Amino acid sequence: MNSIIRSRFSIKQFALLSKFHSPVAAMATTTANPIEAAIRTGLTKELAPVHLEVVNESYMHNVPKGSETHFKVLVVSQQFDGLPLIKRHRLVNDIVKTQLAGDFVHALSIVAKTPQQWDEAYKLQPSPNCKGGFGK
């Protein structure tokens, strides 16, 4: 993937992008967000993804500022090859549950693809705005 990024951007732009696409750098930028960092660490360690996005969408819900309760994950891994979608989601859920060990996550939206299914042009769409819960 780095060769693809490198061909589209200047060296300076690539260095900046590499900082944010590196799992280690991503961890460093999320130390103030321990649940996000734990999700990222677990998925990186267990699935060796070729692409990973962990998006905290908690700000879109009726939760205190800075909460980590609602996440969207896009993970592309060869380990999904041959697995039906339900087993991919279960695998991601098990990894996150194990990694968080008791920390609360209210919602986890998962997009799990194999590298062959992955299209780099794909963009995660934001979830719809929260309507306040309780059928409102």
pTM for this structure? Answer: 0.70
pLDDT of residue 74: 96
Residue-wise pLDDT for 10-56, tens only, equals 333 333 333 334 444 344 444 688 989 999 999 999 999 999 999 98
* Whether pLDDT at 86 is above 80: yes
pLDDT of residue 23: 42
Mean of pLDDT over the chain? 77
Tokens 């980590």 belong to residue: 68
Beta bridge partners of 132: none
**Structure confidence at residue 77 as a pLDDT band (50, 70, 90):** very high
Question: Contact 50/118 with Cβ under 8 angstroms?
Answer: yes
Token readout for 79 is 């380990």
CATH number, position 62: 3.30.300.90
- Kindly state whether residue 132 falls inside one of the protein's structural domains: no
pLDDT at residue 7 tops 70? no
Cβ count within 10 A of residue 132: 9
Cα–Cα distance for residue pair 82/98, rounded to 1 Å: 23
Rounded Cα–Cα distance for residues 78 and 116 (Å): 8
Q: Is 81 a domain residue?
A: yes
Q: Is position 96 within any domain?
A: yes
